[in-house]
Structure formats: structure tokens, C-alpha cells
Copies of this chain bind each other. A is one copy, B any other.
């Protein structure tokens, strides 16, 4: 569905640092977009609603709005807190009814999922995972999160994946940094998120040179996590995005470590012979999340 045909949808990518909103039909048919800092829930959700209300007032009918936000969130249909951000460590954002607020304010159906499941859906519909039956998406930035498709469906289950909170080996002699996660200390996010890099090395990660020892260590933790994903789900591809992954030296380091860690045990030519196509960057670049929210909306809106 491209061009002028088909219904218009709204999309919200709710991140811990900024919100991105758009109105459109597909990646090449976006008619309006905006982004703004994440502050209080009232101000931030109010600003999102205002953007869509302005579009509606201009005559654009939105068939549905898709929302992917940071979490944890409640995805249990029938739960009284469905559509809420629940126990997030982000101050002020605990138990916030994101989906309900947008639905009540804008009067359109709202599809709701985690930011990473939305991004995974975007990559599946229009990006680096098109046509696959099973893949996982990992984003490495302010936080670390993951989602994906297994057996042709978005991963949900009991709650939703929390791949950032995987426990991985941490050699405290080689890396005495205790970890930055307020819940788990040295889980994956505690060791390898952007803020963990900044706390360990005392400077912003983007200022660390490409040959800094930070990067092989970062690649090691991410590779340990990817190996665990391969051993659990056996995905057909791993898509890895997020701000930290903008360091181009990381991909080859990670691929080499994954291959070394698996040590030939998982006998798939995709891993042994063609790992460059197995561990890949998002096809939609930084737009996976908001375009995935658009795909969420389209999924309930009839497209």
C-alpha cells in the first residue's frame, strides 16, 4: 500500500528521550511528522494528541493510531491496565494510561505494543526482516530492548520480551564496572547500554575513538546476548539497531565474537558462512520504531 491510495494512520514512537509521531500510509507515503522531547506524561502525551488533532482538524481522517512505547507495558487484552506503561524506572511515568488517553482524546482505535515490538514489526513489514518466519530485533541505546517475530507472529506471551535484562557472563577482573541497571546491576542493559558505556568510561560513548577498548568489550556483551537469543529461539536473522550501533566498527566485532562463541555448534550456513547477512542493521534506519507503529495501526485498521 503506497502513494495516495488507502487509509491514513497515525503512529507514535514513545521513547525515553523523545517522542516521534507521524501520519501516513507507508514509509514512502508520510504526510506529516513531528518529534519532541519526552518530559512529563501530561505534557508529552498532550503534545502528541495536539499533533493528531491538528491533522484531523485539517480534514485528515485517521483510521487508527499505532503506539509503540518504552516499557514495561501491559499488553494483556482484558487487563484493566492494558495500554499502560507500568513499572518503568523513568520518573513520573509509572502506571500511565498511554493508549486510553489517546483513544479518549482522539476518538480513534489505538493499537499498542512495546517500542521494540513495534520496531520489529516495522522491520518485518518494510525493512531488513521482510518475508522471514522468525527473527529478533535488538536495540542498543539509552536502554536495551528486543522484540521479534516467531512462527510468523509478534512475540508476546506472558508479558513481552525484556531482552535488555538478560544475564550474561561478566568477568569482573577484565571489567570491574558493577553495572548500571537499577533492578539487576550487571544485566545486559546494565553492562552495555549507552549510559553504561558513559559511566564505565567517564565520557559520552560517541566521543570514544573507534579503536578504544570500549568497543571490543561492548561487542563481547552484545555477542553473548545474541548467542543466547540464537540458542533460545533459533531466529532466521538478527536485526540490531539503536544509537550505540551507529559505531560502524561494532558490527564486524560482534559478528566475529558470535561466531567464536558458538564455535561451530549451531551448524547453519547462515551463521557459519554468511554471518554478514545474519546479523544486520535495521533496513529502516532510525525509523523502524515509528514506521512499526504505523504498521501496528494498519494491522487493526484494515490494511
Interface residues of A (CB under 8 A from B): 72, 86-87, 133-134, 146, 150-153, 155-170, 183-184, 186, 224, 227-236, 261-268, 270-271
Which residues on the B side are within 8 Å of A133 (C-beta)? 157
CA distance A183 to B184 in the complex (A): 29
Copies of this chain, whole number: 2
Which residues on the B side are within 8 Å of A266 (C-beta)? 72, 158-159, 162
Can you give 7 A-B contacts (C-beta < 8 A)? A155-B233, A157-B233, A159-B267, A163-B231, A165-B265, A167-B169, A167-B228
Which residues on the B side are within 8 Å of A169 (C-beta)? 167-170, 186
User: Which applies to chain A's interface (DSSP): helix, strand, loop or mixed?
Assistant: loop
Contact A87 B232 (CB under 8 A): no
CA distance A227 to B167 in the complex (A): 8
Contact A265 B167 (CB under 8 A): no
Which residues on the B side are within 8 Å of A157 (C-beta)? 133-134, 150, 233-236
Look across to chain B and name the residue whose beta carbon is closest to the beta carbon of A186.
B169
CA distance A150 to B263 in the complex (A): 27
CA distance A203 to B236 in the complex (A): 41
For the complex of A and B, the 3 pairs showing the least CB-CB separation, nearest first, are A157-B234, A151-B153, A134-B157
* Contact status of A267 and B72, CB under 8 A, knowing A158-B236, A169-B170, A170-B169: yes
Q: How distant is A181 from chain B, measured CB to nearest CB, in Å?
A: 9
* Contact status of A265 and B162, CB under 8 A, knowing A150-B151, A153-B151: yes
Look across to chain B and name the residue whose beta carbon is closest to the beta carbon of A271.
B158
Q: How distant is A75 from chain B, measured CB to nearest CB, in Å?
A: 9
Q: How distant is A158 from chain B, measured CB to nearest CB, in Å?
A: 5
Which residues on the B side are within 8 Å of A159 (C-beta)? 234, 266-268
* Contact status of A155 and B234, CB under 8 A, knowing A87-B267, A184-B265: yes
CA distance A156 to B232 in the complex (A): 10
A264 interface neighbour in B87, B170, B235, Cβ under 8 Å: B87
* Contact status of A158 and B263, CB under 8 A, knowing A167-B227, A228-B167, A233-B232: no
Which residues on the B side are within 8 Å of A230 (C-beta)? 158, 162
Q: How distant is A274 from chain B, measured CB to nearest CB, in Å?
A: 12
Which residues on the B side are within 8 Å of A268 (C-beta)? 158-159
CA distance A146 to B232 in the complex (A): 8
CA distance A50 to B268 in the complex (A): 34
Look across to chain B and name the residue whose beta carbon is closest to the beta carbon of A181.
B265
Contact B234 A161 (CB under 8 A): yes
Which residues on the B side are within 8 Å of A146 (C-beta)? 232
Look across to chain B and name the residue whose beta carbon is closest to the beta carbon of A152.
B151
A72 interface neighbour in B165, B233, B265, Cβ under 8 Å: B265
Contact B167 A224 (CB under 8 A): yes
Contact A233 B161 (CB under 8 A): yes
